[in-house]
């Protein structure tokens, strides 16, 4: 089981390919707050709802100083399909070896329909301008999460 992050921890740096195969680094966002959210799979109902909610609120989040990066174990090609099909504006990055998911505590044992399975734990980590964890939310719900986040962050 990977360790969960807590406020004050240094956010693990990463560079992952986006839907177009271009590298996206957390370090490139220093000086801005970043919402890094982890989701199980592109093109599934819950993950689609969550990505669409982030896209719908991107302008509000950006004007409050937040960038948004979605991380899943999907390959860039699948992320590109997801982006096109749903008209997503959120930056989506691929972590097929799950190293970043694990380093953020977003991969491990979870309950799914009453069974214990190993997989992606739907999570959101807010990274501040200096690269420290400001908030870490684990086992979040896909539906309503962005609205709750806006409230929790007083946006």
End-to-end CA distance of the chain: 33
Residue (of 94, 100, 72) closest to 20 by Cα position: 94
Query: Running DSSP on this structure, what letter comes out for residue 152?
Result: H
Q: Which of 47, 68, 106, 126 is catalytic?
A: 47
Rounded-to-integer distance, Cα 100 and Cα 122, Å: 13
- Asked about 52 being catalytic, the answer comes back as no
Residue (of 63, 83, 112) closest to 19 by Cα position: 83
For residue 48, the tally of other CB atoms under 10 A from its CB is: 18
Catalytically active residues are 47
């Amino acid at each position: 089981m990977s360790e969960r992050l807590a406020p004050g921890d240094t956010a693990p740096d990463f560079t992952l390919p986006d839907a177009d195969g271009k590298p996206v680094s957390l370090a490139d966002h220093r000086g801005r707050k970043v919402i890094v959210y982890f989701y199980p799979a592109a093109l599934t109902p819950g993950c689609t709802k969550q990505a669409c909610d982030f896209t719908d609120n991107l302008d509000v989040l950006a004007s409050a100083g937040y960038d948004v990066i979605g991380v899943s174990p999907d390959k860039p090609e699948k992320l590109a399909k997801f982006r096109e099909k749903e008209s997503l504006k959120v930056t989506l990055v691929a972590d097929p070896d799950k190293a970043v998911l694990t380093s953020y505590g977003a991969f491990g044992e979870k309950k799914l329909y009453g069974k214990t399975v190993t997989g992606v734990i739907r999570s959101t980590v807010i990274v501040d301008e200096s690269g420290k964890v400001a908030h870490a939310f684990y086992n979040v719900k896909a539906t309503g999460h962005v609205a709750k986040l806006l409230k929790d962050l007083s946006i």
